[in-house]
């Protein structure tokens, strides 16, 4: 029953192949995104915009200047929102919320986006949990959302889920430029997945081969030896 044994060497090679393939897929995806963004920047469709409080439609938020706290915004509601839209839609990469909660915790800082224009009746697409990005924090302590260069129609920034937060607010940057290396460096989650998924894929492939190989091998075996009556 020689052909039915597992061959460790070949399995090892297969594992290396899985990792190589994952790396290639990763590089290809990153390269594609970089190329797309570069093209959009070249055609002027991806301008870097600095937005102030006045550029948003706020809800549950007011300018701290009204309470003698210039340079701040104050949320009054656990569901406070800053909505930004451009009628024809726009490409969005990195959105930076340059702000810090001063008096209490923020809970969650998230960004919703819509990917379809308003319908014929003029109703915009609803924001949904499926189109939501969670804030990361960069080295300077600013809150960062990556929208991956997709075309969006409206953005909704929810600064906090606690209400009553006084925010030091330096504005929002739309399409912050990032260095090329950023496109290729995985974050923690991507890094862990890049390390684990090829292994899982390899294991699944091995299971599939363990199922198929003996079937194939036996057929080959029978074709070769069966007619001689000497299996």
Partner 1 sequence: MNVLLGLLSLAALSLFLSWLLRRPAGLMPIVAVSACMLFFTVAGCLGAVVPGALFAGGVLWYVLCAAALVFTLIKLRGKIVSLFTPAFLCFLVGSVAFVLLFALTKPMLTQWDEFTFWGPAAKVTSTVNTLYTMADSSLIARSYPPGLIVFSYMMQFFGGFSEHGYIACFAILYLACFAAAASVWGKLKSATIVFFSALVCLPLLFEFNLGAGQMMRAYLSCLADMPMALLFGGALCFYFAGGEKGARLMLPFGLILGALTCVKDMGLALAFCALFIAALDMLACEGGRLGFYKLRRGAAFWANIGWGVLMIAGCYLLWWLHLSTAAEINRFQLDGSGQMDTVTMLLTGVTMLLGVDRSPQFEQVLSDMLRAFFTEPVGLLGPGMLVLCVILAVTLAAFLLSATKRQRKRVLVFTLAAAFCFVAFYIFNIFTYALIFNPGEAAMLREYNRYISPYWVGWLMGALVLLGRAATYHKASFYRLRLGRAVSAGVCLLLVAALALRGNGRANFLNVSPATYTERENLNAVAAAANAEGAAAEDRVYIISQGDNGTRFYMFGFQLRGVRTRLFTGIERDELGQVVYDEEGKALVSGNVAVTLVSYEKPAETYGPYDVPCNPEDLAIYLAQMGCTHVLVDVVDATILEDFAGMFSDGLAGWDGLLGRGNSYYKVTWEPNGSCLLVPSQTGGAA
- Nearer to partner 1 by C-beta: 46 or 165? 165
> From the CB of residue 121, how many other CB atoms can be counted at a distance below 10 Å?
5
Q: Residue 172 interacts with partner 1 (CB under 8 A)? A: no
- Nearer to partner 1 by C-beta: 25 or 35? 25
Angle subtended at Cα 186 by Cα 180 and Cα 188, rounded to the nearest 5 degrees? 140
- Nearer to partner 1 by C-beta: 38 or 213? 213
What length is written for the chain? 231
Least Å from the CB of residue 45 to partner 1? 26
List of residues 6+ apart from 62 with CB closer than 8 A: 73, 74, 76
Q: Residue 104 interacts with partner 1 (CB under 8 A)? A: yes
- Nearer to partner 1 by C-beta: 20 or 102? 102
Selected from 58, 60, 107, 171, the binder of partner 1 by CB under 8 A is 107
Q: Residue 137 interacts with partner 1 (CB under 8 A)? A: yes
Selected from 18, 22, 99, 109, the binder of partner 1 by CB under 8 A is 109
Q: Residue 5 interacts with partner 1 (CB under 8 A)? A: no
Least Å from the CB of residue 128 to partner 1? 9
> From the CB of residue 223, how many other CB atoms can be counted at a distance below 10 Å?
9
Among the candidate windows 18-26, 45-53, 98-106, 117-125, which touches partner 1 by CB under 8 A? 98-106
Selected from 132, 146, 170, 217, the binder of partner 1 by CB under 8 A is 132
Interacting residues with partner 1 (CB under 8 A): 4, 11, 67, 69, 101-110, 129-132, 134-137, 143, 162, 164, 166, 187-189, 192-193, 196, 199-200, 202-208, 210-211, 214-215
């Amino acid at each position: 029953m020689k052909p039915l044994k597992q061959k460790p060497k070949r399995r090892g090679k297969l594992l290396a192949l899985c990792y190589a393939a994952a790396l290639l897929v990763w590089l290809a995806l990153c390269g594609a995104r970089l190329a797309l963004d570069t093209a959009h920047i070249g055609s002027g469709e991806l301008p870097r915009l600095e937005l102030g409080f006045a550029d948003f439609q706020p809800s549950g938020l007011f300018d701290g200047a009204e309470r003698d706290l210039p340079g701040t915004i104050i949320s009054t509601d656990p569901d406070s929102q800053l909505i930004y839209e451009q009628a024809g839609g726009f490409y969005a990469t990195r959105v930076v919320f340059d702000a810090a909660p001063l008096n209490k915790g923020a809970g969650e800082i998230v960004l919703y986006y819509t990917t379809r224009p308003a319908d014929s009746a003029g109703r915009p697409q609803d924001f949904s949990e499926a189109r939501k990005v969670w804030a990361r924090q960069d080295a300077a302590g600013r809150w960062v959302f990556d929208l991956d260069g997709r075309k969006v129609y409206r953005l909704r920034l929810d600064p906090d889920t606690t209400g009553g937060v006084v925010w030091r607010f330096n504005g929002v940057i739309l399409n912050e430029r990032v260095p090329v290396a950023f496109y290729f460096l995985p974050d923690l989650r991507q890094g862990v997945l890049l390390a684990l998924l090829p292994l899982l894929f390899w294991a699944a492939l091995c299971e599939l081969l363990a199922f198929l190989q003996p079937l194939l091998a036996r057929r080959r075996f029978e074709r070769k030896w069966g007619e001689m009556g000497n299996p």
